[in-house]
Structures are given as C-alpha cells and as structure tokens.
C-alpha cells in the first residue's frame, strides 16, 4: 500500500484524569472516504480535534503524508492541507455567507477566493441564493452547507467532517450526503465522523467503529453495514 495521507498510531488523549482516546490506530489513503462511527461520547470529536492538536496527544503519533504533526500548531495543520467542518456547524453568525467563506481562506491566503467561491456556489446552489444573507438567519441545513463550503475554501487535501447530519431533517441529510458523494467522486479525501451510521457507511470505502475511546471494529463500508454488532448498535437492528 502507498503512504497513507493520514495515520494515527497508538494515540492516547486525556481530559484531565479521563482517558478519551485509548491506543487509537487508523489510516486513511489519499482519495478514500472513511467514516468513524460510534455512540454519543465515544470519542469521535476528540479524535478529529486531536488532529489539530487540541486536545494534544499524550502518547502516540499523528502522521500526515508521512510528516509527524503530533506536536504541530493548529495553524500549521490547517495551512498544510487539512480542513475541518466542526460539530454543531459553527459558522460566524453575524457574517454573511460570502464573509464566512472568506474566513475559510485564512490558513492559506485569499488569492483563489473569488474562483473558489464560485465553485462553492456550484456545489451548493443554496449558498449562492443566500450569498449576502447573515448566517444566523439561515436554516440548519444551509448552515451545515456553509460550514462544509468554508472548510473547502482552504483547498484541503483532507476534509474532516464532524457529524454533518446532526439535527437535520431526513431530506436535508440526503442532500448533504449527495453533495459529499459528488465531492468524493471529484477525488477529495474525506474523513467523516457520524452517528448516522447508515448514511455514512454507504458513502464510505471503509469505516471504523469507536466504543469508549477505542477502535472496536474496522472494515469496508459494506462489511460494517452487514456486521451483526453494527446493525444492533447503530442501525436500529434492521
Ligand atoms: N473539553 C472536555 N473536557 C472534558 N471531557 C471532555 C471534553 N470534551 C469531551 N469530553 C469527554 O470525552 C469523551 C468523548 O467525547 P467526544 O469526543 O465529544 O465524543 P463524541 O464526539 O463521540 O460524542 C466523553 O466522555 C466526553 O464527556
Ligand atoms: Mg462529537
């Protein structure tokens, strides 16, 4: 296998005395869509945030394209090709859609801003209609689209998404996953954290299942969709 774009090796993360990640091992190859599923509190967001060094790993390693980034600043990580759409779609509420998108260019500079904004408006036509609207006045689904588009404005090589379907109506979830499928087809490497295991695994080449800070299972999206334990715990038993 070629060098992974991202590799976590025996990663331990603590919040004070509480160990949130326990010896986590995980690899993502360039061009893959990989999902991390698990219940609320399993450690999924902690894992994503630790890639940006917040929280910092207590032990283990995070390699990005072969470079050890375990002790790097979040600015270093962002300006070298990793972007994140955080849980709870934290857009800047008082800023317009365009202003939010511009904020996404901060790690890399705004020389491609105009061109990339047009590309985002093609990917998310809803954002184009609302380009001058303040983010706080938009629906949850529109804010989620904006959070993803803002992350893409830094032209990442690896896109991290934390629960993009959280709290959204089924039809909006479908739209968002449709767009993620388009992005994946265009060659973007996507690492997706989801409680919505069904949508996530159907989109993904591979997946990991996290339980109490540990990777419990891994396999192809199809294998995990057919796995008894996954079906019982995350797919409503069907
Ligand atoms: N800032 C924090 N301080 C202390 N404990 C935290 C903090 N953030 C998360 N935790 C704890 O770490 C564990 C993993 O949380 P999290 O990564 O948010 O899980 P998930 O994203 O899978 O729901 C939980 O027990 C949670 O309560
Ligand atoms: Mg979370």
Probe residue for ligand 1, chosen from 21, 43, 54 as the CB with the greatest number of ligand atoms within 8 Å: 43
Nearest alpha carbon, ligand 1 atom 12: 20
- Stretch 44-48: mean pLDDT, rounded? 98
Share of the chain above pLDDT 90, in %: 95
The model's pLDDT over 123-169, given as tens digits with 9 standing for 90+, comes to 999 999 999 999 999 999 999 999 999 999 999 999 999 999 999 99
Q: Which ligand is nearest to the CA of 38?
A: 1
Nearest alpha carbon, ligand 1 atom 14: 43
Q: Where are the domains of the chain?
A: 1-81+157-164+187-238, 88-156
Model pTM score: 0.96
Q: What CATH architecture is 1-81+157-164+187-238?
A: 3-Layer(aba) Sandwich (3.40)
Residue 105 has a pLDDT of 97
**Cα of 60 from ligand 1 centre, angstroms:** 19
Residue 237 has a pLDDT of 62
Distance CA(5)–CA(238), nearest Å, equals 34
Question: Phi, psi at residue 61, to the nearest 5°?
Answer: -140, 145
Distance, CA of 86 to chain centre: 7
Using the 8-state DSSP alphabet, how is residue 66 labeled? Answer: T
Distance CA(213)–CA(232), nearest Å, equals 19
Q: What is the enclosing helix (H) or strand (E) of 12?
A: strand 6-15
Distance CA(199)–CA(204), nearest Å, equals 9
- Stretch 39-68: mean pLDDT, rounded? 97
* The pLDDT of residue 238 is above 60: no
């Amino acid at each position: 296998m070629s060098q992974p774009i991202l590799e976590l090796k025996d990663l331990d993360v603590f919040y004070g005395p509480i160990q949130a990640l326990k010896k986590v091992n995980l690899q993502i190859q360039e061009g893959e869509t990989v999902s991390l599923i698990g219940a609320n509190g399993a450690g999924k967001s902690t894992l994503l945030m630790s890639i940006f060094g917040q929280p910092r790993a207590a032990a283990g390693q995070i390699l990005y394209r072969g470079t050890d980034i375990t002790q790097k600043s979040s600015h270093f990580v962002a300006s070298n090709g990793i972007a994140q759409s955080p849980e709870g779609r934290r857009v800047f509420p008082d800023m317009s859609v365009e202003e939010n998108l511009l904020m996404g260019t901060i790690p890399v500079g705004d020389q491609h801003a105009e061109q990339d904004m047009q590309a985002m408006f093609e990917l998310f036509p809803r954002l184009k209609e609302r380009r001058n609207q303040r983010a706080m006045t938009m629906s949850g689904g529109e804010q989620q689209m904006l959070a993803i588009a803002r992350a893409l404005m830094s032209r990442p090589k690896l896109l991290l998404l934390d629960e993009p379907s959280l709290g959204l109506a089924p039809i909006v979830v479908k739209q968002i996953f449709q767009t993620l499928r388009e992005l994946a087809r265009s060659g973007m490497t996507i690492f997706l954290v989801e409680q919505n295991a069904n949508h996530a695994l159907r989109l993904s080449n591979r997946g990991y299942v996290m339980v109490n800070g540990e990777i419990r299972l891994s396999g192809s999206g199809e294998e995990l969709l057919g796995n008894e334990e996954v079906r019982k715990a995350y797919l409503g038993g069907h």
